[in-house]
Structure 1
């Protein structure tokens, strides 16, 4: 399999913005990464990587995170 190129900067900016919105929503609810992970069936390290914008995450995971945060997915993924 050939190596893949890193995503363009605008994609990384969207990842970071998504992660920041998840973190802000989580902390406003005084929820730990561990608790969010438990409620969304996602491990804490993955939550951390998503919040930092280090990974591209599956839409299914975002659905579970939004539900665990009791917030619309659209609010989390809006344009930065």
Structure 2
């Protein structure tokens, strides 16, 4: 079993990396933020928080992965 680092900066770094991968996938598919949040049935603000790497729910990430047609694991690896 691994010990966690003393601070939570690693969590912020991981969330930012996930948000960046989601933005990259959106751009790869030539989609706008509006198209994604509307298709995922989430709010604009929620989607923006995802791309900015802020705290979001697993359900939100699953919705976005479904809209992109990719496994969630591809976005959070």
TM interval, shorter chain, is 0.7 to 0.9
Query: Would you say the 8 A contact 1:34–1:43 is kept in 2?
Result: no
Return 5+ residue gaps in structure 1 as ranges.
Answer: 1-6
Query: Cα distance, 1:19 vs. partner?
Result: 0.2
1:13-55 alpha-carbon deviations (Å, 9 max, x no partner):
01000000000000111101111001111112211111011x2
Determine if contact 1:19/1:50 at 8 Å carries over to the other structure.
yes
Mapped contact 1:26–1:69 kept (Cα < 8 A): yes
CA distance in 1, matches of 2:56, 2:70: 18
* Runs of 5+ consecutive residues of structure 2 not aligned to the other structure: 1-6
Alpha-carbon distance between aligned partners in 2 of 1:36 and 1:44, rounded to the nearest angstrom: 9
Q: Is the 8 A contact 1:40 1:68 kept in 2?
A: yes
1:70 corresponds to 2:69:
yes
Is this contact kept in 2: 1:40–1:65, CA < 8 A? yes
After TM superposition, list the pairs within 5 Å mapping 1:36-55 onto structure 2. 36-53=36-53, 55=54
